[in-house]
Structure formats: structure tokens, C-alpha cells
Amino acid sequence: MNNSELADLQISGFGSMPGGKYKSVNIFGRGKITGDVACDDFVINGSGEIIGKVSCSKMVVNGSGQMDGEVITSVLKIRGAADFSGRVNAKDVSISGSTTAKNGLDAHTIKISGGVKVKGDVNAEQLSSTGRFEIDGLLNAENIDVHLDWNTSKATEIGGETITVMPGTNGFSLLSIVTLGTHSPRLEANLIEGERITLVNTTAKIVRGSHVTIGDGCDIGLVEYKGSFHKSGSAKVGEEKKL
């Protein structure tokens, strides 16, 4: 049976359905699916709970979703609130709402404009953030681009080829205007390690890289560098060491 012969699954109002293979799954009310699900498109516009593994081409959460098993998808868009108990494996991830991943996140590209909490590691080729993230583990990506618009973002360790942490998306924090400069979003990590590192408003115990620039608002315990090291006048660095 090919996908064109599969039926759609739609839950409107209150309903509970078994898992299975479907062409598309749509939850408009409050729906519960028990069992593994395989489909093309999986959309939650209301409140959905899935007790099982989800394999799909595209998952969109506009309402609230609770996924108790592993999720494997090409495209993941979170515009509402999503809670993942199993590991999440996706190609392209876009989060403008609120997301909790309790067993790690693997992706090719991750774009964050909302809020994300992850227990475990985050692995990607490209991560860009104008929102807020808390990662209880390693954030590992080839290119990491963080613009600090909102509250403090945290990761236990950060590793990548190019790591850039800058002020808000327009060169300043939007909240700092509203709060007359009293709001100062930051990035916090125990270790930041990469080839090319540029940081502002960052607190870290150790920063290690080939080419390191420590800018305004930084408080770094130790900088270890192989090639070049630059520090602005307002940055605080406890110790610097050339490797």
C-alpha cells in the first residue's frame, strides 16, 4: 500500500484513536493517540497526546502537544507548546513557541525565536537563536549564531567551528529599551570551544579556540587560544593562555 491509498486521521472535539499508518494526522480538539504513528503530515491545532513513536515528513504544533515516544521527522515547526519525552530527530527545526525536549535533540538546522529547554545534548550543523535556550548538556553545531534579545540562555558546554554571540537582532536588546537598559540578556556556559569564537554578554569558566574575540559584557575565567586573541576594554578575563 502506498501513501496515496492511506486514510487520513482527524480528531475534532474529544477523541482517542489507535496508532497506525496514515496519510495525514490532524488534531483540532483534544485528541489522544495510543501506539506508534507513521504519516506524511502531523498537525496539532488543539491539544494532542501521543503515546508512542512518531515518524512523519512534517510535524507542526500550533496548539499544545505531548509526545511520549521518539519523534523522527524532516520538518518540525513548533508555534505553540510541545513536550517531547523521547529523543527528537529532525532535519529542519523551527521553534517560535515553547518546547521541552527531555531526551536530546538532533537536527541539521535549528532556528529558535521562542523558548527551548533540553535535557541531554543538542547536535546540529547550524543553530541560530534570537530566543532563549537552556541545554542541560552539550550544544554541538558547526555554526552557532546567537542574538541575545530575551532572557539568559544557558548550556553546560558549547562546541562548534564558528561560534558567534551578539546583542539583539538589530544590534541591541528589544527588552533593554522597554526596561530602560536594566535588562541585560546573557549567555552562560561552563565551557565554550571552537575554531572562531566571538562573544559579547557571555559568562563562561573556560573559552578555548584558535581565534577568540571577547567583547563587551563578558566575564570569562580562562581563555585558551592557538592563533589570535582580542579583548575589549570592558570585558573581564581572569587568565589568558596561548596554547
pTM of the predicted structure, to 2 decimals? 0.91
Spell out the per-residue pLDDT of the chain, length 243, in tens: 355 689 999 999 899 999 999 999 999 999 999 999 999 999 999 999 999 999 999 999 999 999 999 999 999 999 999 999 999 999 999 999 999 999 999 999 999 999 999 999 999 999 999 999 999 999 999 999 999 987 899 999 999 999 999 988 644 444 444 443 445 799 999 999 999 999 999 999 999 999 999 999 999 999 999 999 999 978 999 999 999
Query: Could you give the CA distance from residue 11 to residue 26 in angstroms, rounded to a whole number?
Result: 6
- Three-state secondary structure call for residue 175: helix
What is the CB-side half-sphere exposure of residue 134 using CA atoms within 13 A? Answer: 10
